[in-house]
Amino acid sequence: MIWLNQVVTGVLLGGYYALLASGLSLMFGVMRIINLAHGDLAILGAFFTFLVADRTGWSPFAALIVVLPAMAGIGWILQRTMFERSLRSGVLVPLLTTFGLAIVIENLLFEKYGADTRSLGPQIGNLAFDSWQITGQIFIGHLSALIFVVAVGVLGVLHLILRRTPVGRALRATAEDADTAELVGVNSRAVYAVAAGISVAIAGLAGVFLAMRSSYDPYSGPLQLIFAFEAVVIGGIGSLWGTLAGGIVLGVAQNIGAQLNPEWQILAGHVVFLAILGARLVLTAIGDRGGLAVVLGREA
Amino acid sequence: MTLLAVEQLVAQHGLLQAVRDVSFELEEGERLALVGANGAGKTTLLRTIAGAHAPSAGRIVFDGGDVTGVSAHRRVRAGIALVPEGRRLFTGLTLEENLLLAASAARHGPWNLQSVYEAFPLIATRRKRRAGDLSGGEQQQTAIGRALMTNPRLLLLDEVSLGLAPIAVESVYESLERVISGGATVVLVEQDLGRALSVADCVICMLEGRVVLEGPAKELSRERIVEAYFGLHRGGTAT
């Protein structure tokens, strides 16, 4: 039963990973930018929420009313001032730009807040540790469940925006062919800035959830970026629900690893990620050679 | 009145000058056919007028205003629409989404979903299909419909018959002629000279980026256009 409990907890953790990964996936899907600062922007959101909650005495949830629009604004500004310019210089420059941005964010946070590890847990009271006991050994944490529900909700809303609204149409068209989108009257620069705003706002939300369920410091970003990457790659690039599946696979793998040996938690996630990546490469190679029957026949 | 004036336009692809010092004017309601061999600069000229390609010299004046430095989506709003070569539909969107996307530019005019489907009945039954799954002829009609959805004052058509089966070309032109007989201002790039001459009021023939022949379609003989087309007059053999 303890194993089932780990699987359930892993699925819920997957919601967090999916939330973290969806912004990364959106920015790559629309602008072809691999945002290496994505994890650090999430941590920036956590610090920002801490700051607002601390100054105003609000709960971190109330602080989101200020933080999320501000994060969207930061995404918009980053796109207009940095990403847009770097995109004109080829594929490598945006990668370097976001790498540099990541270092700048980490060190600014370090300079301002020091190396202390923080958590928003104390500020959300019982929510941080309360849980429902389903049966003997199966517990569902209130916060884990909340994060999972919010993650699915955000992905659902994002899906509806992309599929059903004029903004979503413009996003999909610009992602496919920005030149031609301009020729039918779509302001591609504005569309890019909207995508960056959504992406960074979701990253900030994910960072706040990380800060609530565990702890963070100025250098927590890169590890979160790796988790986001793994969820995106496992689930398949460009698919929102695939990202959710990828996040769940990663979360379950980590939790089962942790149950085997507490030191294996993160390692188990990496191993499953590499195994899936490897399997996909092999399958693609077999497909390119004309299918499994042909490959085996040649060897026989 | 003059709707479009192109003044000493130069456009380059890197070091290659695709359009060299091209000037012409187009009156409201006029239909211009742009002819010339492959690589003569016709597509680049259209793309530069539409704002998809930045010129390196010269001016483009539309409806009395200089639009040379104006971005493509603003030109759409001003009333310039290009049906690009190779159709360039958004293949991941449905046919109807392709049309609706262009409607977001929101110029007022006679064209909306309903009137486009009336003008192109062939595509009306395919509206929920993904654009990538349409036949070539259906894609071309959708591409023209998409441009019309912006309610353009100037319609630029780049090789609408390229890569289509003859019967599909016939049906595209049938619909197109109905559309442009309503008095639209059109610049048309077309390989089929006979078709170009039958649709257009005036003709510009380009060769290696320059205008080598210009005149009303009725007054230019097919022979003179063919000579200009291949650059035969330059050898001194022209009549």
In DSSP notation, B90-121 reads -TTSBHHHHHHHHHTT---SS-SHHHHHHH-H
The pLDDT confidence band at residue B225, using thresholds 50, 70 and 90, is: confident
Q: Give the ipTM.
A: 0.89
Rounded Cα distance, A206 and A41, in Å: 10
B86 at interface of A, judged by CB pairs closer than 8 A: no
- DSSP reduced 3-state for B133: helix
* Interchain contact, A179 vs B52, CB within 8 Å: yes
Bridge partner list, B14: none
B180 at interface of A, judged by CB pairs closer than 8 A: no
- The CA–CA distances, whole Å, from B141 to A247, A268, B148, B179 equal 42, 53, 10, 12
| A-interface mutation test, from B44, B49, B77, B101, most A Cβ less than 10 A away | B101
- Looking at chain A, list the stretches that DSSP marks H as alpha helix, in order from N- to C-terminal side: 2-31, 38-56, 60-78, 84-87, 92-113, 142-164, 166-176, 178-183, 188-213, 221-235, 240-260, 265-288, 292-299
Of the candidates A176, A184, A187, the beta carbon closest to that of B146 is on A184
Rounded Cα distance, B68 and B96, in Å: 32
- For residue B97, the chain A residue with the least C-alpha distance is A169
Per the structure, the count of domains in chain A is: 1
- For residue B31, pLDDT beyond 60: yes
* Interchain contact, B101 vs A183, CB within 8 Å: no
The pLDDT confidence band at residue B81, using thresholds 50, 70 and 90, is: very high
List the single range of A12-16, A164-168, A239-243 with lowest mean pLDDT. A239-243
Instruction: Find, among A168, A273, A241, the residue nearest to A22 by Cα.
Output: A241
B197 at interface of A, judged by CB pairs closer than 8 A: no
Spell out which residues of chain A touch residue B72, defining contact as CB-CB under 8 Å: 182-183
* Interchain contact, B104 vs A166, CB within 8 Å: yes
* Interchain contact, A182 vs B100, CB within 8 Å: no
Cβ pair A244, A14 in contact under 8 A: yes
Spell out which residues of chain A touch residue B92, defining contact as CB-CB under 8 Å: 172, 176
Q: What is the pLDDT of residue B238?
A: 42
Rounded Cα distance, B116 and B120, in Å: 6
- For residue A188, the chain B residue with the least C-alpha distance is B73
pTM over 0.80: yes
Cβ pair B160, B190 in contact under 8 A: yes
The pLDDT confidence band at residue A159, using thresholds 50, 70 and 90, is: very high
* Interchain contact, A182 vs B147, CB within 8 Å: no
B90 at interface of A, judged by CB pairs closer than 8 A: yes
User: Token digits for B184?
Assistant: 């639209």
- For residue A299, pLDDT beyond 80: no
In chain A, positions 104-123, which contact chain B (CB-CB < 8 Å)?
Answer: none
B154 at interface of A, judged by CB pairs closer than 8 A: no
Mean pLDDT of A173-180: 94
Q: What is the pLDDT of residue B234?
A: 59
- For residue A162, the chain B residue with the least C-alpha distance is B93
Mean pLDDT of A169-190: 94
| Phi, psi torsion values for B205, nearest 5 degrees | -110, 130
Cβ pair B60, B74 in contact under 8 A: no
Pick the more confident residue, A195 or B37: A195
Kindly list the structural domains of chain B, giving each domain's residue range(s) and its CATH number in brackets, ordered by start.
Answer: 2-235 (3.40.50.300)
Q: Give the distance from residue A161's alpha carbon to the nearest chain B alpha carbon, in angstroms.
A: 14
Spell out which residues of chain B touch residue A180, defining contact as CB-CB under 8 Å: 84, 88, 90
Mean pLDDT of B4-23: 94
User: Token digits for A204?
Assistant: 């900030």
Q: Which domain holds residue A224?
A: 2-299
* Interchain contact, B76 vs A180, CB within 8 Å: no
Taking one residue from A and the other from B, the number of pairs with CB-CB distance under 8 angstroms is 68
**pLDDT above 90 covers what percent of chain A?**
82
Spell out which residues of chain B touch residue A188, defining contact as CB-CB under 8 Å: 73
A88 at interface of B, judged by CB pairs closer than 8 A: no
List the single range of A19-23, A127-131, A242-246, B104-108 with lowest mean pLDDT. B104-108
User: Interior CA angle at A278 toward A272 and A280, to 5°?
Assistant: 105
| Phi, psi torsion values for A130, nearest 5 degrees | -65, 150
Return the CATH number at A281: 1.10.3470
* Interchain contact, A185 vs B76, CB within 8 Å: yes
The pLDDT confidence band at residue B122, using thresholds 50, 70 and 90, is: confident
User: Could you identify the residue written with the tokens 């890169």?
Assistant: A222
A269-295 pLDDT per residue, tens: 999 999 999 999 999 888 888 887 777
B109 at interface of A, judged by CB pairs closer than 8 A: no
A82-92 pLDDT per residue, tens: 999 999 888 89
Mean pLDDT of B153-176: 88
A85 CB contacts (<8 Å, ≥6 apart)? none
Pick the more confident residue, B223 or B66: B66
Q: What is the pLDDT of residue B237?
A: 44
User: Could you identify the residue written with the tokens 């050898």?
Assistant: B235
Mean pLDDT of A111-137: 89
Spell out which residues of chain A touch residue B52, defining contact as CB-CB under 8 Å: 179, 182-183
Pick the more confident residue, B238 or B109: B109
- For residue B236, pLDDT beyond 70: no
* Sign of the alpha-carbon dihedral angle for B173, B81, A87, A157: negative
Mean pLDDT of B67-84: 94
Bridge partner list, B24: B6
Of the candidates B71, B76, B97, the beta carbon closest to that of A169 is on B97
User: Token digits for A159?
Assistant: 């899906």
Mean pLDDT of A71-81: 97
The alpha carbon of B239 is separated from its chain's Cα centroid by a whole number of angstroms, namely: 31
* Interchain contact, A188 vs B73, CB within 8 Å: yes
Rounded Cα distance, A233 and A156, in Å: 20
- Cβ burial of A74 (10 Å; 0-12, 13-18, 19+) is buried
